[in-house]
Amino acid sequence: LLALKVEHPDNVHLLRGNHEEADINALFGFRIECIERLGERAGIQAWTRYNTLFQWLPLAAVIEDSVACMHGGIGRSITHISQ
């Protein structure tokens, strides 16, 4: 999905959901998968960088002033819309 966003930045839009929170994606195995694929040091570094990137994803979007898009679950660390 990230590659598609880079290739088509005006046509692909990514939103943040609960699995884009470090504690949730670690719980569901993303951290371990990064370590298994890349080794301890590089895996943790990749996982940390992905989670830094995820923090930049918007929580919601409005399409053509008529469709509101958002994930059904937002991570516990989000306590205010300004985040």
60 - beta bridge partners?
70
* From 13, 19, 71, 80, the catalytic residue: 19
d(CA 64, CA 18): 25
- Active-site residue 8, yes or no? no
Return all residues near 76 (Cβ < 8 A) that are at least 6 apart.
21, 23
Work out the number of other CB atoms within 10 angstroms of the CB of residue 67: 8
Q: Which residues are catalytic?
A: 19
